[in-house]
Amino acid sequence: MNEVASKVVVGLGDRSYDILIGPNLIEQAGKQIASRLPGIRTAIVTDENVAGAHLARLIDSLKAAGIASTAIALPAGEKTKSFDALQEVVDGVLAARLERGDAVIALGGGVIGDLSGFAAGIVRRGMNFVQVPTSLLAQVDSSVGGKTGINSARGKNLIGVFHQPKLVLADTSTLDTLSPREFRAGYAEVAKYGLIDRPDFFEWLEKNWQEVFSGGEARTEAIAQSCRAKAEIVARDEFENGDRALLNLGHTFGHALEAATRYDSTRLVHGEGVAIGMALAHRFSVRMNLASADDAERVETHLKAVGLPWRMGDIPGNLPDAEALLGYIQQDKKVARGTLTFILTRGIGKSFIAKDVPASEVLGFLKDNHPG
């Protein structure tokens, strides 16, 4: 049995937890969970695609460790982050007669993790929660830090709670089952950590991204570096009252584009929205005389090299006009008392929180960059 290749600790005092990274960790899941949460029963929440690939192995691992489980499989896709799916998960957990000290296990990508964590946070006023992320995006971003939630027709992730997991098991072998598009979309979040405040990491990615895509040590290293970057920020600012907002680089534009495409994954998935959003954030920073055009071009060049979209015109189909896109931005959680907050940059790895960004500047920028 493979040993853990890397461990990252999210330091939150008596609520600290481990992120274990390495191949074949699903086979170790029962042992790892039982050592931290002895005597529990579990509900595994997954989607129909992931269930076919990984659910049986997880159930077997839990059973071998004496952990009973029930499985709840939902349709795959962003549209599952809904009130209807939340009710299905909550009903499933209650029907299994799980108690507050038992655990909800999320087996899947970011959608399943966000939804399951929200359910765990509200059932019986808070149950234990374990993340077993199976997508690159979930392993490096959404499984870490305790942000959970569902979408509203008015915007993405507007309904949810902060609810930290007890353990994150990032089984890198599950990434071999991802489509190239899904892997690329997750890679956008990896690149994000370099662009926030780790310019050396971004430079390393520029040189090593092909090895990250092909697997092996470079992939594990990229995941571990990303998790360390996020863990450090979460430990400083768990509830996003300060610099945790830096993790939203690219997300304000990206979330608006996701809402504008009605979360239609055939047109745009979350990581692709983040990629376009990061390119737009750097280009907008140039417009605001904060960063050089060379830095924005460097970001765009890297995103293009790995096969990610980088401009609004890369999204299939028509987009709402600039005024409508601004409306989605104004619904974003990062709006405070009606003023717009963006994560902007003074260069590669020099991101900062920009408050009171004039809506007129954003609207002009959206008009200039709109494919229509």
Is the same domain home to 130 and 232? no
Non-local (6+) Cβ contacts of 30 within 8 A are 61, 62, 63, 64, 65, 66, 67
> Is this structure's pTM higher than 0.85?
yes
Query: Distances from the Cα of 87 to the Cαs of 49, 81, 106, in angstroms?
Result: 20, 11, 16
Cα separation, 31 vs 21, in Å, equals: 15
Structure tokens at 108: 């899947």
Tell which of 158, 177, 196 closes a domain: 177
Torsion angles phi and psi, residue 181, rounded to 5: -65, -45
- Domain assignment present for residue 362? The answer is yes
What residues are paired with 265 via a beta bridge? Answer: none
CB-based contact 105:128 (threshold 8 Å): no
Count of structural domains, the chain: 2
Question: Could you list the residue range(s) of the whole structural domain that residue 166 is in?
Answer: 6-177
Tell which of 152, 177, 202 closes a domain: 177
CB-based contact 334:147 (threshold 8 Å): no
Closest to 94 measured CA to CA, from 104, 108, 79, 85: 104
- List, for the chain, all residue ranges whose pLDDT scores fall below the cut of 50: 1
Is the same domain home to 51 and 152? yes
- Domain assignment present for residue 1? The answer is no
Query: Distances from the Cα of 21 to the Cαs of 9, 44, 226, in angstroms?
Result: 11, 20, 11
Q: Which pLDDT does position 1 carry in this prediction? A: 46
Q: Which pLDDT does position 76 carry in this prediction? A: 96
Looking at residue 221, which CATH number applies to its domain?
1.20.1090.10
Is the same domain home to 257 and 312? yes
pLDDT tens digits for range 89-147: 999 999 999 999 999 999 999 999 999 999 999 999 999 999 999 999 999 999 999 99
CB-based contact 120:188 (threshold 8 Å): no
Looking at residue 128, which CATH number applies to its domain?
3.40.50.1970
Cα separation, 213 vs 365, in Å, equals: 33
Helix H or strand E segment including 325: helix 322-330
Tell which of 177, 196, 211 closes a domain: 177
Cα separation, 283 vs 25, in Å, equals: 40
CB-based contact 348:282 (threshold 8 Å): no
End-to-end CA gap in the chain: 54
Is the same domain home to 25 and 94? yes
Structure tokens at 69: 């489980």
Is the same domain home to 187 and 102? no
CB-based contact 332:357 (threshold 8 Å): no
